[in-house]
């Protein structure tokens, strides 16, 4: 859901109002049950439920219809097209993180997939050994120090953090469609809608599993999202979190001391 880029101004404005209303209206969570990474849990749970209801009523049925009528090769081509556009943002952010090798890979992917891959419809670059990194401004802020940002559920956009929310304007500015927004709004809204539905259709199986397997879908999504973002910030090799370090310290304290030699 991170791609709902052109709905951001409306979403954030609605989120500010909902934040004020829902935090006041929801019952507080006992101190011993609070997750330190989720200080806005009453609001987040309410917004998660709103997004879930909205998705089940409007987005999911459309996504199922899309999946049923669009041939798999066409669906894959559409996904590749939008992934190719995302490589622009990735290149910008790898450069801001001074990851020159990854920046070169992103640029190489863009050139190859846009030309040989027919405008990005075919992912030629991956088959040539050029991996997709998909960096964004939230990851860039994390790279420069803002790692463990509080969890935040945005209206319509879904799971995020305060850090990632602050990165949304940069993600918008780095998207090529933003710069042609005033030329033909009909085309741009069509492309946005197609991007949203294509992304949701690709997530149908995953969300069904969460709904059926998780005893607390909200907590499952939150924990999985935060773990994924931490992993992305550290390029797949994150250091122990503060919670893990505390746990290991407690375990070490419980271990018996080695017997002293007489």
In a domain? residue 67: yes
| Predicted confidence (pLDDT) at residue 217 exceeds the cutoff of 90 | yes
pLDDT tens per residue across span 71-110:
999 999 999 999 999 999 999 999 999 999 999 999 999 9
Neighbours of 3 (CB within 10 A): 18
In a domain? residue 241: no
CA proximity to 92, closest of 146, 173, 164: 173
What was the pLDDT predicted at 14?
Answer: 46
In a domain? residue 248: no
How many domains does one find in the chain? Answer: 1
In a domain? residue 142: yes
In a domain? residue 7: no
| Predicted confidence (pLDDT) at residue 20 exceeds the cutoff of 80 | no
Strands 158-161 and 151-154: antiparallel
Neighbours of 63 (CB within 10 A): 21
Output the average pLDDT for the chain: 85
Q: How confident is the model at residue 6 (pLDDT cuts 50, 70, 90)?
A: very low
What was the pLDDT predicted at 147?
Answer: 94
Tokens 């304007």 correspond to 169
Mean pLDDT of 52-67: 96
Find the domain containing 72 and state its range. 41-235
Structure tokens at 145: 């120090």
pLDDT tens per residue across span 29-50:
666 567 899 999 999 999 999 9
In a domain? residue 17: no
Mean pLDDT of 188-196: 87
Helices (H) and strands (E) in the chain, counts: 13, 2
- Determine phi and psi for 31, rounding to 5 degrees: -55, -40
What was the pLDDT predicted at 176?
Answer: 86
What was the pLDDT predicted at 192?
Answer: 86
pTM over 0.85: no
Q: Percentage of residues in the chain with pLDDT exceeding 70? A: 78
Q: What is the length of the chain?
A: 262
CA distances to 41, 55, 117, 178, 184 from 187, rounded to whole Å, are 38, 24, 22, 12, 6
- Determine phi and psi for 154, rounding to 5 degrees: -95, 145
pLDDT tens per residue across span 116-173:
999 999 999 999 999 999 999 999 999 999 999 999 999 999 999 999 999 999 999 9
CA proximity to 2, closest of 107, 159, 203, 176: 159
């Amino acid at each position: 859901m991170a791609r709902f880029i052109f709905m951001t101004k409306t979403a954030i404005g609605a989120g500010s109002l909902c934040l004020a209303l829902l935090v006041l209206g929801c019952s507080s969570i006992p101190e011993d049950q609070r997750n330190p990474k989720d200080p806005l849990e009453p609001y987040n749970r309410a917004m998660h439920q709103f997004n879930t209801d909205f998705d089940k009523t409007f987005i999911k049925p459309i996504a199922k219809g899309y999946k049923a009528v669009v041939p798999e090769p066409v669906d894959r081509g559409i996904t590749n097209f939008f992934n190719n556009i995302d490589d622009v943002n990735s290149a910008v952010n790898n450069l801001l993180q001074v990851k020159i090798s990854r920046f070169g890979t992103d640029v190489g992917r863009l050139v190859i997939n846009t030309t040989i891959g027919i405008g990005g419809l075919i992912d030629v670059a991956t088959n040539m050994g050029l991996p997709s990194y998909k960096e964004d401004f939230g990851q860039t802020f994390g790279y420069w120090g803002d790692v463990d940002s509080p969890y935040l559920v945005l209206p319509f956009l879904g799971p995020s953090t305060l850090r990632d929310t602050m990165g949304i304007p940069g993600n918008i500015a780095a998207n090529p469609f933003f710069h042609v927004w005033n030329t033909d709004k009909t085309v741009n809204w069509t492309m946005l809608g197609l991007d949203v539905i294509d992304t949701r259709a690709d997530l149908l199986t995953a969300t069904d599993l969460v709904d059926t397997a998780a005893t607390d879908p909200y907590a499952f999504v939150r924990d999985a999202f935060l773990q994924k973002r931490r992993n992305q910030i550290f390029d797949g090799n994150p250091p122990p979190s503060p919670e893990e370090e505390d746990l290991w310290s407690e375990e070490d304290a419980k271990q018996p001391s080695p017997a002293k030699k007489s």
